[in-house]
Amino acid sequence: MTEMEKITVMDRKAMKARAKGVFKRHYWLIVVMCLIAALIGAEYTSSLWAETYEDPTMAQSTVADTSSNQLETMLGQMASGNEDEVRSEVSRNEQDIRESDTIAMLGRSRGVFASLVNSFSSGSILLTISDTARSILQSPDAGVIVLIVISFIVYVFGWLFIQETYTIVIRRIMLEARTYEQVPVRRFLYPIQTGRWPRMAWTMFVTTVYLFLWSFTIVGVFIKSYSYFLVPYIMAENPTMGANEAITLSRRMMKGHKWECFVMQLSFIGWHILSALTFGLVGVFWLNGYQAAFFAEYYARLREIAKRAGVEGSEALCDEALYVRPDQTVVEAAYGDAAAAIASASHEHVQRPTGFTGFLADWFGITLRRNGRVDAWQRHEAQVDALDHAQDILDGRCYPGRLAPAPIRTKVETISGPDATRSYTVLNLIMMFFIFCFVGWVWEVTLAFITEGMFVNRGTLHGPWLPIYGTGGIAILVLLKKLRSKPALEFVAAMVLCGAIEYFSSWYLEITHDGQRWWDYTGYFLNLNGRICAEGLLTFGLGGLAIVYLLAPALDDLLRRANVRVLAVIAAVLLVAYCGDQIYSSQHPNTGAGITDYKGSDTVSAPAIDSAIPTIPVLQS
């Protein structure tokens, strides 16, 4: 690299100015994107934990976070057989965190946010892994072994296929945002859209393994975290690359730029201090998105330098449409079918359903049964939505996915079914209610098994269902129908609606069961009377988006294929069993270890919250 290829102070200022422009242009999309990253523990977790400060830009992976001197010392002690000493140290660390948690509304000793930070800052993650392995090897009960293995697989899947690959999604969205006016919400499914999800996960896994091995050296982890800094960006641009190919290219591109990258990160220290002073609010609403936009600019600059210098392997960075809008003739050649479909659709006329049927479908997304007029109208709406997206691509407002190294297909042909704005039959809504209840129950039981090492039947009822999941999901689908075309408003409304449902449920259960609580968020960050908390509201918002745009449409498609009569019988049986459970549980509610004794045990019974991601909670009171 020549001196002319170094990034100067003036370059940094120019990149920051461009980053601010990108962030402001896509403000809410980027804020939500970073909130998701913080919630699932991928990045930016420190913006939600001012007292446990940790620079997120320094954390390129989960293992990079564990590379502190304390954890290295613990690893050494465990390797030399001093596990009792490690347990004592972890216990002291946990006690220190609990004792410093003195402000009720700003609790930081419980919840997913706390778990993500505390599990590493206390060192308990090392004991969790060790204890899990010991349980698998020594348990005499084969059934228990199977459950432990399944729980561990769920955890690993969440870490690798969700947390780690989401860092690639963030980079992809930011690279598109810096060039185009619009970034479709469906880009959050980038790993699935490209069909390269396993390859992305494998690349991040290999990167994590290398960082882990380097963490045993004195300076290796610091240097190599910068050497591999560009891996998520490289995979975001070209997910067809192999793991070692992407890692090697990142190392070559960062040669001579590691200290420079550190200085770039250090230039945000003032914002980090301000974020800490505002309990992370500045981080959530400004710093996180600003950093994401800036380092996308930084990657684009390093990419330009590498290609100009002919760095070996840089020819694989071939997605030029990410950086410069392609000529319209090129786009039209790739989207000729879209142009033809748009032209033919302009001559079509589909009548909107009217009367009571039209009112229910339009305002609440409900039909009493399958209705041909409603289906025809919603197929038309789905097609119009697809063609609007195609028109944005043709006009240069949106990234042309078909030109990508891993092409992102655009569906412009006749739509066979309705999209997320669809209406649902009463029968299908009943079935989805029970599906949501059951999935929530399974999720809670799995998390309880990870944290407690035993089966815990969550909730007030005795059957395999948690009504708060089903009630929240159906309420979002029905009461927020008018907001489905506006994801940002849908997100906020889902938080408010489900937060109100959970608060009322907590209050109602408490006054009808002599003050007994089935969940208490005291100790969670920004909680209200222990009934709801900020962590839960974020989970509701993100879960609402997943239900509206992914889960409910997919389930509806499956249920539409089933025999209606068989489905009606199943729904009737479930309703009878559920009502019976409600009647019995009103007099004999489900209580016991891990259900209602959360104040006196390590279990936190939080039906709507602690199922956000497959993490292993610690420091729960």
User: Residue 388 belongs to what domain range?
Assistant: 327-403
Report residue 543 CA to chain centroid gap: 9
Q: Is the dihedral angle over the CA atoms 366, 370, 373, 374 positive or is it negative?
A: positive
- 3-state class of 119 per DSSP? helix
In this structure, the answer to whether residues 213 and 332 fall within a common structural domain is no
- 3-state class of 182 per DSSP? strand
Q: Is 411 a member of any domain?
A: no
**End-to-end CA distance of the chain, in Å?**
54
pLDDT at site 527:
81
Q: Is 601 a member of any domain?
A: no
Q: Which long-range contacts (CB under 8 A, 24 or more apart) does 77-85 make?
A: 78/126, 78/130, 83/130
- What number of other Cβ atoms are within 10 A of residue 113's Cβ? 27
Closest by Cα among 614, 610, 618, 609 to 154: 614
Report residue 237 CA to chain centroid gap: 20
Closest by Cα among 491, 498, 447, 497 to 610: 447
Question: In the beta sheet, which residues pair with residue 533?
Answer: 527
Residue after which a domain boundary falls, among 344, 370, 403: 403
Query: CB-side exposure of 471: number of CA atoms within 13 Å?
Result: 14
Place of tokens 């613990």: 74
Under 8 Å between Cβ of 385 and 517: no
In this structure, the answer to whether residues 257 and 154 fall within a common structural domain is yes
207/227 Cα distance (integer angstroms): 11
The single-letter code of the amino acid at 212 is: F
Q: How far is CA 504 from CA 406, 435, 508, 551, in A?
A: 47, 23, 6, 26
Q: How many residues does the chain have?
A: 621
Under 8 Å between Cβ of 290 and 272: no
196/173 Cα distance (integer angstroms): 16
Place of tokens 């708060």: 468
Label residues 334-367 b or e (16+ Cβ within 10 Å = b): bbeebbebbeeeeeeeeeebeeebbebbbebbbb
Closest by Cα among 312, 267, 313, 275 to 294: 267
User: CA-CA-CA-CA torsion for 126, 127, 130, 134, nearest 10 degrees?
Assistant: -170
- What number of other Cβ atoms are within 10 A of residue 80's Cβ? 9
Contacts of 15 (CB under 8 A, 6+ apart): 7, 294, 297, 298, 301
Closest by Cα among 203, 92, 174, 217 to 619: 92
505/34 Cα distance (integer angstroms): 30
103: tokens are 């402000």
In this structure, the answer to whether residues 465 and 547 fall within a common structural domain is yes
Closest by Cα among 139, 247, 159 to 203: 247
Q: Is 415 a member of any domain?
A: no
Residue after which a domain boundary falls, among 343, 374, 403: 403
Q: Is 487 a member of any domain?
A: yes
Place of tokens 């030399």: 80
Q: Which long-range contacts (CB under 8 A, 24 or more apart) does 260-269 make?
A: 260/6, 260/7, 261/226, 261/229, 261/298, 262/226, 264/12, 264/294, 264/295, 264/298, 265/55, 265/57, 265/58, 267/12, 268/57, 268/294
Along the chain (621 residues), what's the average pLDDT of each consecutive run of 10 residues? Answer: 62 93 95 86 69 36 40 57 73 70 51 54 60 56 49 71 93 97 90 93 93 83 90 97 96 94 94 89 93 97 94 95 94 87 68 82 86 75 78 92 88 55 91 94 78 74 91 94 86 92 90 83 79 84 88 91 94 96 90 61 38 32 29
255/250 Cα distance (integer angstroms): 9
In this structure, the answer to whether residues 490 and 534 fall within a common structural domain is yes
Closest by Cα among 436, 439, 442, 465 to 151: 442
68: tokens are 């502190």
In this structure, the answer to whether residues 76 and 207 fall within a common structural domain is yes
- What number of other Cβ atoms are within 10 A of residue 55's Cβ? 13
Residue 53 CB burial class (10 angstroms; 0-12, 13-18, ≥19)? middle
- Give the chain's domain count: 3
Under 8 Å between Cβ of 446 and 565: no
Q: Is the dihedral angle over the CA atoms 382, 493, 49, 127 positive or is it negative?
A: negative
615/160 Cα distance (integer angstroms): 12
The single-letter code of the amino acid at 242 is: G
192/39 Cα distance (integer angstroms): 21
Q: Is 408 a member of any domain?
A: no
pLDDT at site 154:
66
Q: Is 545 a member of any domain?
A: yes
pLDDT at site 377:
77
In this structure, the answer to whether residues 439 and 314 fall within a common structural domain is no
Place of tokens 């090392």: 126
In this structure, the answer to whether residues 430 and 283 fall within a common structural domain is no
Q: Is 613 a member of any domain?
A: no
Contacts of 67 (CB under 8 A, 6+ apart): 211, 215, 221, 222, 225
In this structure, the answer to whether residues 398 and 437 fall within a common structural domain is no
In this structure, the answer to whether residues 310 and 337 fall within a common structural domain is no
Residue after which a domain boundary falls, among 321, 349, 375: 321
Residue 172 DSSP label:
H
Residue 525 DSSP label:
B
Place of tokens 């392997």: 313
pLDDT at site 128:
63
DSSP for 226-278 reads HHTTTHHHHHHH-TTS-HHHHHHHHHHHTTTTHHHHHHHHHTTHHHHHHHHHT
* Angle between helical axes of 69-79 and 124-138 (0-180°, round to 10): 30
Q: Is 118 a member of any domain?
A: yes
Place of tokens 């591999």: 228
In this structure, the answer to whether residues 244 and 294 fall within a common structural domain is yes
40: tokens are 């699932």
In this structure, the answer to whether residues 213 and 300 fall within a common structural domain is yes
Under 8 Å between Cβ of 182 and 392: yes
pLDDT at site 48:
55
Give the helix, strand, coil percentages of the chain, each rounded to 5: 65, 0, 30
In this structure, the answer to whether residues 544 and 429 fall within a common structural domain is yes
